[in-house]
Amino acid sequence: MQTRFILIQPSHAGNVGAVARAMKVMGFDDLVLVAPRWSNVLRREEALQRASGALDVLRQARIVATLDEALVGMEHLCATAMTPRDFGPPTRTPRAHFEMLLQKELPAHSHQAQEADFALNVVRPQSVAFLFGPERYGMANEDVYRCHVALAIPANPDFGSLNLAAAVQVIAYEWRLALGGFAPAVSPTSVQEPTLADAAQVAGMLAHWEQALTALGFLDPAAPKKLMPRLQQLFNRAQLRREEIHILRGVAKAMIEAAQAKR
């Protein structure tokens, strides 16, 4: 699904760069700025520094004069507004809205949409735009009214003001998660099945430990009680790998050498 992030009248170049970075982290690259404070905002040093590796997103970002131009080709519009409005689109959390959107349980666009209408099925949109207002006062009412939903991040009600880039990061994360997310990065060795030690290797290691514990005086061969069987059960539960067997045998060897040095 085509995804676009739209910044309306951004005033801080650093925020624009940080937004580009937040988008790239989540795999998005369609950024449009509407009437930014600086006409050269995409080339300003603050933006380049805060982009930190997302310069490609900045290079292909577009600057337009009006919101109409930014919305060309976009079917489903999501405002971001922390302050509830008495009139306009319904307010939902990003996660709840994205679940409904992808399951095609959203009503047709209407300023009078009610909760009872949410079960109506509509055609799933092929493009989504996320709109963010100026840093100082957020989206204007008339821009919010154009949208199908007002997304409200469930933040601390006593302190819910997010930096522009932080808000973009949260929305981008929730949207990427709804779309299926990315597989977590793994090291080449972590995808290999561990090679467990076989019974003979565990038995050899235990015999080595029995020798070491005896040398230290911790184990009395004349009255061993159940020490070795209990260690056997302990190591069986641990499902030791071959490398770990080598480590434990090294420990046993060191214990024997330490005991001999004291004699």
CB 60 within 8 A of CB 33: no
Band of pLDDT at residue 193, cut at 50, 70 and 90:
low
Band of pLDDT at residue 234, cut at 50, 70 and 90:
very high
Lowest mean pLDDT among 66-70, 170-174, 177-181: 177-181
How confident is the model at residue 1, as a pLDDT? Answer: 85
Is the predicted pLDDT of residue 238 greater than 60, yes or no?
Answer: yes
How confident is the model at residue 136, as a pLDDT? Answer: 86
What is the chain's mean pLDDT, rounded? 87
Is the predicted pLDDT of residue 93 greater than 60, yes or no?
Answer: yes
**Tally of CB atoms within 10 A around 220:** 11
Is the predicted pLDDT of residue 115 greater than 50, yes or no?
Answer: no
Give every strand in the sheet of 31-34, ordered side by side. Answer: 62-64, 31-34, 2-8, 127-132, 76-80, 149-151, 91-92
How confident is the model at residue 85, as a pLDDT? Answer: 64
Give the span between the Cα atoms of 4 and 20, in whole angstroms: 12
Q: Per the structure block, which two tokens stand in for 221?
A: 């061969």
Mean pLDDT value of segment 203-209:
94
How confident is the model at residue 118, as a pLDDT? Answer: 41
pTM of the entire predicted model:
0.70
Share of the chain above pLDDT 90, in %: 67
Is the predicted pLDDT of residue 148 greater than 90, yes or no?
Answer: yes
Give the span between the Cα atoms of 70 and 185, in whole angstroms: 34
Please list, residue by residue across 221-248, b when 16 or more beta carbons sit within 10 angstroms of its beta carbon and e when fewer do: eeeeeeeeeebeeebeeeebeeebbeeb
Mean pLDDT value of segment 162-186:
91
Mean pLDDT value of segment 23-41:
95
